[in-house]
Amino acid sequence: MKYLIQKFGGTSVGTAQRIKDLVHLTVNRDPKIVVLSAMSGTTNALVGICEQLYKRDMAAAATQIAALREGYDKVISELFTTPEFLTKGKQLLDNHFNHIQSFTLDMFTVNEEKAILAQGELLSTALFHFYLEECGIASVLLPALNFMRLDEREEPDMNYIRKHLNKELELHTNSIFFITQGYICRNTYGEIDNLKRGGSDYTASILGAAIDASEIQIWTDIDGMHNNDPRVVSKTHPIHELSFDEAAELAYFGAKILHPTCILPAKKANIPVRLKNTMDPKAAGTLIANILTSEGVKAIAAKDGITAITVKSDRMLLAHGFLRAVFEIFERHKTSIDMITTSEVAVSLTIDNAQHLKHILEEINEIAHVEVDENQTIICVVGQLPKNKSGLGFKVLEALKDIPLRMVSYGGSSNNISVLVGSEYKTTALKALNRGLFNYN
């Protein structure tokens, strides 16, 4: 049997009404696993509660827990109509909030934090499951903590997941409608863990790969990936088809709609990913698959918060091994490099995580001269870029002719041309490219 995976993000389960609306998007005769995020705002609220608990500010923690509980009481009263399910809903909240409350008593460590962060997805899935039950619709709630597991490298343990997910499914051979939690998992020691913020997309992709799903659908509030950032430029259009490589570039370089980690498991297992809009379910959305898409530029994306580092040394001239020495410093500090450009005596590179910058710079300073520019933005043009045709590079640079470019990267892959600009030029750059590459004014 082939399952469909349908993942709904926080806003798609953000109110009682939105939870009710899921029924007509999920209930049909296709065998499926529905993956839910926490209701929007919940994970942030839980993070806030944990911050207070770390500080041992019990009064502040209690106030925030009470406020969150109040919100859920309202959800229950709007979601259920029968006394039986109103009581069931209240018991559910009592259980989860008593559990959260219990951490205000003892020591607070990262393990307790992870147990608290797991409550959001446990709540949203249980609420949807109860709502279906109240409507007389059969569904099975699969506890993600029984099969989602990370290995010792903190990567999904695909063999374990496949085996234990199938075991769970086999307990319910008469069912075709399953619901489970996104984001939460266990680590290699069996402790509660998570796939990091926004990780529910990743859950969907991992599950799809584990059971060889027919398709992985990611439902959000926009009709697929757009050719440019709709928050910045006034005219955009959804992209109907993307290859996995194009989607990976876009997701990584700022298209907020899909978490970048989500692409890899689906790509490896060759399972199509479809981005759909809960507000407009009939809209085609975006299909991401192992396909050769048409030639040309598909989209522009931007990633802020970039730090550019230029390493300059006369020793680089005609020498070998210099780049390795530089890159090793970043490796030692577990900092990944995104963009690179070189000249004969210098190399410029960018990082998006400046946590270890101070130590990195100290070490580079021992072998070379180094300069740093903060507040940079990578603007990335993605598509199938023709190798043997001229003109595209020119078009990109022509569109950006009035903007100072800090770095230009062309030819690293046939899917991406990137430029680095000061973040103050981001809006102008996205608008100029929308005009130059898509003729949108």
**Residue ranges binding Mg ion (CB under 5 A):** 9-10, 37
Residue 360 CB contacts under 8 Å (≥ 6 apart), including other chains: 309, 329, 330, 333, 335
Closer to Mg ion by Cβ: residue 49 or 218: 218
Q: How far is the CB of 142 from ligand ASP (least distance, A)?
A: 17
Distance CA 50, CA 156 (A): 25
Instruction: Starting at the earlier edge strand, list the strands of the sheet with 407-413.
Output: 337-342, 346-351, 296-312, 369-384, 416-422, 407-413
Question: What is the SS3 assignment for 161?
Answer: helix
Per partner kind, with CB cut-offs from 5 to 8 A, the member of ligand ASP, Mg ion, none near residue 43 is ligand ASP
Binding residues for ligand ASP restricted to 30-89, rule: CB under 6 A = 37-38, 43
The verdict on 182 binding ligand ASP (CB under 6 A) reads: yes
The verdict on 254 binding ligand ASP (CB under 6 A) reads: no
The verdict on 198 binding ligand ASP (CB under 6 A) reads: yes
Q: How far is the CB of 266 from ligand ASP (least distance, A)?
A: 16
Distance CA 408, CA 304 (A): 16
Whether the Cβ atoms of residue 84 and residue 143 lie closer than 8 Å to each other = no
Query: Site for ligand ASP (CB under 6 A): which residue of 120, 208, 254, 436?
Result: 120
Query: Site for ligand ASP (CB under 6 A): which residue of 3, 8, 10, 144?
Result: 10
Phi, psi of 409, rounded to the nearest 5 degrees: -130, 120
Closer to ligand ASP by Cβ: residue 202 or 244: 202
Closer to Mg ion by Cβ: residue 50 or 407: 50
Residue 177 CB contacts under 8 Å (≥ 6 apart), including other chains: 26, 27, 31, 32, 34, 137, 138, 139, 140
Per partner kind, with CB cut-offs from 5 to 8 A, the member of ligand ASP, Mg ion, none near residue 183 is ligand ASP
Distance CA 205, CA 161 (A): 12
Per partner kind, with CB cut-offs from 5 to 8 A, the member of ligand ASP, Mg ion, none near residue 240 is none
Closer to ligand ASP by Cβ: residue 194 or 384: 194
Q: Name the site residues for ligand ASP (rule: CB under 6 A).
A: 9-10, 37-38, 43, 120, 182-183, 197-200
